Chain A
Amino acid sequence: MRRRPSRTNSLNVVIALLVLVGLQQFGAAALIKGKALLAPLLIERAWSATLQAPGGVVRPWPWADTWPVAWLEMPRRRVSLPVLSGDSGNVLAFAPGHARASAPLGSTGLAVVGGHRDTHFAFLAEVGLGERLRIQLADGQWRDYRIAATRIVDTRVEAVQPQYLAEVILLVTCYPFNALTPNGPLRYVVRAVPA
């Protein structure tokens, strides 16, 4: 019997550590995806409440710092998502968000809706020109839009101008779609105009 327990044990510890951290990371990734998948279901309730009492702010859960402002659908792609108020990280984790500083949805000007490239807005990668999407505002009315352009933007050299003369919705997500690291400078911008 030739044994080297210290070496085996340390190897075991290393392997166990690797497995643990690996599983933890996997869990964290799963949590991100899970949140993104489940939140819209919760928000749907808040949205129907908003539609019942038009104009009010209905928070999906009492401590939420955001609330749904619209519902976005692309029936052909089986996309049906809420649009929340605000585009900060903690909002986008749940659903796409409307940048509060941009023009309101459904009015003149540039309205910006951001969404994560690896969850809600992953479908933007496949969206083509001329496709239709529709947006329901708090008044219950559906508005039809068509995709007029797609574009890659370097945020280091340009940003959004909301004071525009026409009604335009920008759907913004990070680019490239399959990049690993977040916080890249590129954005994939899909421009929708009233159909």
Chain B
Amino acid sequence: MLHTLDQHEFEHHKFEHHKFEHHKFEHHKFEHHNTDGHSPDLLFYDRLTLDRPTLDRPTHDRRNVAHHRPEQHEAGHHNAQPVACNALLTRANRLVFRLLTAALGVLLLMLVLSGSVARAAAQTAQGLDQVTTGQLLFTGTAGQSFQPAIMQRSNVHFSIAGMIATVSLEQVFRNHTREFVEGVYAFPLPPEAAVRALEMRVGERRITGKVREKEAAKSIYREAKRAGRKASLVEQQRPNLFTNRIANIAPGEEVSIRLEYVQPVHYHSGKFSLRFPMTITPRFMPGVPLRASVAQEALSTVAADPYLGWAMPTDEVPDAHRISPLLLPPGLDNGPAHNRISLSATLDMGMPLSMVSSPYHEIVLSRRAGVYDLSLLDGSSAMDRDFVLEWQPVAGSVPEAAFFTQKVDDQYYGMLMVVPPAQPAAIAKIPRQVIFVIDTSGSMGGTSIEQARASLSTALRQLTPRDTFNIIAFDSSHRALHRQPVPATGHFVQQALEFVRMLHASGGTQMMPALLAALPVVQDQGNGEVPPALRQVVFITDGAVGNEDELFQAISQRLGDSRLFTVGIGSAPNSWFMRKAAESGRGTHTSIGNLQDVGPAMASLFEQLARPAAVDFAIEWPAAVEAWPRRIPDLYFGEPLTISVSFGDTAPVGDITVRGRVGGTPWQRRIGVNVAAGSDQHPGVASVWARRKIADLLDAGLRGLDAAAVRDAVLPVALAHQLLSPFTSFVAVEEVVSRPPEVPFAAHPVPNTQPLGQAAQPYAYPATATTGPAKMWFAVLLLFLALVLHVLRQGEPDHAAPPEQD
């Protein structure tokens, strides 16, 4: 259900809390103080003494009465009848007030009694009143050690040539216990990574891993684990989340797992970039927990292969336990040993560069013969944020088109990159509707919500009065600022800015209802209402959810003529979600890692929002090809067209012609290809092609292709190219037996590091007080006032009641 609140209501409902927090805090202190000094009674007596003087006030009143007397005489004879009536009323009144006094007495007694219980309670709690907040009072927590049983460190090397990066990632696991252990480590990789090699190293021995069908790999690993052999099993849980299990690490021993993957380099507005994630923002798992028997099996530590996650499988995220790795408690993760990474890169672009930078890490850079080498300034870094590398060619050598080829097993593969010309910013003339959806869930706590607020405020200021807009904020529930989009005039923008300023992060991440509200079912336009020419949804989130696939499906189904643009927030956003959601929404994705990014990133996004996309692409190849992705997406300002092809066993010779429509006018470009002559080999082109094919086939699954058909299509590709996929895993087994099968072993999780600056918690404490006591006191106050008024009236000499009754 969508709750629409206007500004007033809104502040009342949602932010009352925050607005008056300070006040309330003081109030609590006051209460506190009172508790020590027998307050409720005192408070009451004070009020009594304050009220008493009013009893002596009749002198003043009588004077007033005297003034009014003539009028009353005039009305006198009318009152002959009411006298009897009044007497009756008075009797009734007196009865009521007797009861009232009694009731009040009982109530007071109850309250005083409950108050004294609370006082006693406060005392038993070892003088808690003196404790200032934030001070630790954990006294009985001895014996809980937070040093993980298995320590992990990583080394990563990027070698970047042209548009493709080949990355070697080594994970070293060290057993700190006195028994044999199995390590379970969940780690992130870039969402487009094609993982194509695994090597396990134990001392001087190296074992090369093989890609196997998922279940086959699992049973090979299980058998090795049982037999006491060292083994490693790497599985893909999400395109950007993998698990690595390492069996039979001996006490004090180190085992190293080296993974190799290739990925295309990201190119946008003349700037290249590469992102390497290092930790995982805890995902929210929507849905109802699955049957306990299923859950028990998944969570149980005695299961054959426990994943040791913190979440319980739910009906919407049945694999929640696999994608919820534990995090180190904050404050303990800065140790030198655990989760450190050392990083280096070789950058060979074959063109002069004007800039190489890393926005979130300090790097040292050296250059020899056009090749750049870089590494971390401090040697190593905590794995608490994404690593991003950006570089830019000098103005004259910005590429506009490129074609890379590779020959593997007598098969020719290619990767095409073409930059369409910049479209004119013609859209400013068309009225558009921008719907902002902002994530205010608990995982956005800390710096993330600040970045999100800053992004949204920046975006709001970029709107023109011709545009209409609305804001939908969501956590466990969602609420829209307005029922209908409103024009972006000064008043509404100010109101929206105030709304944004008051957003705080707490609660769960129920993304689906918010998305559906932002993408309503398009109604029949028969009522003459003209739909906005351009409806753009800007989705600001960290993507920390476990039900990604469902969301992608919902976006594709509900998109209609709208376009969805994602803005990824935080030190460790779910980049796969950002990218794929934008792809399903036929928009673009933008990432923001700190507050400094907000300005440029939002400016670039608005550049894209303001210009029409380049559409209707068609490519003519010199020969029959298998090109992926099948459907070429619309391209926004600054985006290149990239496509991977396989030519089969014939070397392609001829021209590639790319046609499209940019800003309403046709455009075409021709690129010459001659593989036979120029035997340029670009490693990784084939793997990227296979990875894109797998991704496209999986997308077909999302669009409704039968799951078995998807699996049958993906499996041969993954096996032939030795790639990790949802249906294939890497497994490596050592021949030597390390652990005699009768010696026991234990499975331990390898915890991840808390994402930098993000709140240590994905949700807030519940609100745990009712308005009961307040209502009770208010009731007492009102009844007491009634009593006082009654007494006061009786105290008057010229009271309605005859004096002899007193």
Contact = CB atoms under 8 A, between A and B. Distances in A.
Contacts of A62: none
Interface stretch (B113-121, B252-260, B524-532, B715-723): B113-121
Contact of A148 (B121, B138, B762): B138
Interface stretch (A16-24, A39-47, A74-82): A16-24
Contacts of A149: 137-141
Contact of A160 (B83, B133, B763): B763
B65 A4 contact: yes
B102 to A, nearest CB: 13
A18 B783 contact: yes
B782 A128 contact: no
Interface in B749-806: 749, 751, 759-783, 785-786, 789-790, 793, 798, 800
Contacts of A5: 79, 82, 86, 800
Interface in A161-190: 161-166, 172-174, 176-189
B766 A15 contact: no
Interface in A20-69: 21-26, 28-29, 32-33, 36, 54-57, 69
B312 interface: yes
A14 B789 contact: yes
A173 B125 CA distance: 14
B86 A89 contact: no
B438 to A, nearest CB: 19
B107 interface: yes
A45 B413 CA distance: 66
B296 interface: yes
A93 interface: yes
Contacts, number: 304
Contacts of B282: 162-163
Contact of B292 (A18, A54, A152): A54
A159 B786 contact: no
A8 B72 CA distance: 13
Contact of B118 (A57, A155, A177, A186): A177
A99 B766 contact: yes
Given A101-B763, A160-B763, A183-B16, A56 B291 contact: yes
Contacts of B141: 148-149, 191, 193
A121 B507 CA distance: 22
A117 B768 contact: yes
A103 B749 CA distance: 15
Nearest to B146: A165
Contacts of B115: 178
Contact of A3 (B100, B508, B800): B800
A138 B785 CA distance: 51
B597 interface: no
A90 to B, nearest CB: 11
Nearest to A157: B134
B140 A147 contact: yes
Given A26-B779, A128-B124, A191-B138, A183 B292 contact: no
A12 B798 CA distance: 16
B28 A179 contact: yes
A110 B330 CA distance: 14
Among the interface residues B148, B476, B506, B786, which one has the most CB atoms of the partner chain A within 10 A?
A: B786
Interface in B253-300: 282, 284, 288-296, 299
A119 B767 contact: no
A172 B768 contact: yes
Contacts of A156: 21
Contacts of B118: 125, 176-178
B136 interface: yes
Contacts of B759: 159
Contacts of B768: 92, 114-117, 121, 172-174, 187
B289 A160 contact: no
A159 B445 contact: yes
B616 to A, nearest CB: 45
Interface stretch (B321-329, B396-404, B451-459): B321-329
Nearest to A120: B768
Contact of B770 (A22, A32, A69, A178): A32
A163 B773 contact: no
A100 B120 CA distance: 33
Contacts of B679: none
Among the interface residues A8, A28, A29, A114, which one has the most CB atoms of the partner chain B within 10 A?
A: A29
Contact of A154 (B68, B133, B148): B133
B292 A55 contact: yes
A102 to B, nearest CB: 7
B128 interface: yes
A55 B762 CA distance: 26
B464 interface: no
Contacts of B35: 176, 178
Among the interface residues B128, B308, B760, B770, which one has the most CB atoms of the partner chain A within 10 A?
A: B770
B24 A158 contact: no
Contact of A176 (B31, B93, B776): B31
Given A55-B293, A92-B766, A160-B761, A151 B136 contact: yes
Contacts of B763: 99, 101-102, 159-160, 162
A163 B310 contact: yes
B552 to A, nearest CB: 23
Contact of B772 (A29, A97, A183, A193): A29
A113 B76 CA distance: 68
B786 A19 contact: yes
Interface in A96-130: 97, 99-104, 107-109, 112, 114-119, 121, 125-126, 128-130
A189 B766 CA distance: 11
B137 A125 contact: no
A150 to B, nearest CB: 6
A25 B774 CA distance: 9
B524 to A, nearest CB: 33
A144 interface: no
A60 to B, nearest CB: 15
B573 interface: no
Interface in B236-258: none
B42 interface: no
A181 B24 contact: yes
B89 interface: yes
B42 to A, nearest CB: 14
Contacts of B776: 25-26, 29
A161 B133 contact: no
B801 to A, nearest CB: 10
A104 B122 contact: no
A101 B507 CA distance: 8
B131 interface: yes
A29 B139 contact: no
Contacts of A177: 118, 121-122
A152 B133 contact: yes
B765 A116 contact: no
A147 B96 CA distance: 50
Contacts of A172: 765-766, 768
B770 A165 contact: no
A9 B243 CA distance: 79
Contacts of B786: 15, 18-19, 22
B760 A165 contact: no
A72 interface: no
Contacts of B79: 3, 5
A3 B295 CA distance: 79
B209 interface: no
A57 B21 CA distance: 37
A178 B35 CA distance: 9
A24 to B, nearest CB: 8
Contact of B140 (A26, A107, A130): A130
8 contacts: A23-B783, A29-B775, A32-B771, A87-B766, A125-B125, A130-B140, A160-B764, A162-B761
9 tightest Cβ-Cβ pairs between the two chains A and B? A125-B121, A114-B766, A22-B782, A55-B291, A154-B133, A55-B292, A178-B118, A87-B766, A26-B779
Given A23-B779, A32-B770, A186-B25, 6 more contacts: A11-B793, A25-B776, A116-B770, A128-B124, A149-B139, A177-B118
